Amino acid sequence: MTDSLQDKLLEIHRRLCLIFGCPVAYFRALDPLSELVSSLLSHRTRNAASGAAFRALRTRWNGDWAAVRDADPAEVEATIAGVTWPEQKAPRIQAILRRITELRGELSLDFLAELSVPEARAWLEELPGVGPKTSAAVMSFSSLRRPALPVDSHHHRVAVRTGLIPASVAVGPSHRILEAQLPPDWTAQQIYDNHEVLMLHGQRVCSYRDPACHRCVLLELCPTGQARMGGAEPVSLSPLGR
Ligand code: SF4
To the nearest 10°, report the CA torsion of 73, 125, 174, 167: -50
Map residue 177 onto helix, strand or coil. helix
Q: b/e for 12-50, b at 16 or more Cβ within 10 A?
A: bbebbbeebebebeeeeebebbbbbbbbbbbbebeeebb
Distance of CA 228 from the midpoint of ligand 1 (Å)? 9
Asked if residue 149 lies in contact with residue 135, where contact means CB atoms within 8 angstroms, the answer is: no
Given this model, what pLDDT does residue 3 score? 65
pLDDT of res. 238: 41
DSSP, collapsed to helix, strand or coil, labels residue 106 as coil
Domains assigned to the chain: 3-24+151-229 (1.10.1670.10), 32-141 (1.10.340.30)
Residue 121 clears pLDDT 80, i.e. is over it: yes
Q: What is the pLDDT of residue 2?
A: 57
DSSP state, residue 220 = G
Residue among 162, 163, 113 nearest 139 (CA): 113
Q: Is the pLDDT of residue 242 over 60?
A: no
Q: Which of 201, 213, 221, 242 to probe ligand 1 with, by most ligand atoms within 8 A of CB?
A: 213
Angle of the 132-141 helix axis to the 171-180 helix axis, nearest 10: 50
Q: Which residues have CB under 8 Å from 21's CB, separation 6+?
A: none
How large a percentage of the chain has pLDDT more than 70?
94
Q: What pLDDT is attached to residue 239?
A: 38
Asked whether the beta carbons of 61 and 68 are under 8 A apart, the reply is yes
Pocket test for ligand 1, best of 15, 19, 222 (most atoms within 8 A of CB): 222
Contact of 240 with 160, CB cutoff 8 Å: yes
| Rounded CA separation 32/5 (Å) | 33
Give the model confidence (pLDDT) of 52-96 as tens digits.
999 999 999 999 999 999 999 999 999 999 999 999 999 999 999
pLDDT top residue among 135 and 28: 135
Whether residue 231 has pLDDT greater than 70: no
Residue by residue, what is the 3-state secondary structure of 15-45? HHHHHHCCCCCCCCCCCHHHHHHHHHHHCCC
With left for phi above 0 and alpha for psi between -120 and 50, is residue 238 left, alpha or beta?
beta
Ligand 1 centroid from CA 226, angstroms: 8
pLDDT of residue 1 exceeding 70, the answer is: no
Atom 8 in ligand 1: residue holding the nearest Cα: 206
Q: Please work out whether the CB of residue 202 comes within 6 Å of at least one atom of ligand 1.
A: no
| pLDDT band at residue 232 under the 50/70/90 scheme | very low
Q: Is the CB of 212 under 6 A from ligand 1?
A: yes
Q: Is the CB of 197 under 6 A from ligand 1?
A: no
For ligand 1, is residue 213 a contact (CB within 6 Å)? yes
Q: Write the pLDDT tens digit of every residue in 165-210.
A: 999 999 999 999 999 999 999 999 999 999 999 999 999 999 999 9
Give the pLDDT of residue 241.
37
CB atoms within 10 A of CB 85: 13
Q: Rounded CA gap, 142 and 217, in Å?
A: 31
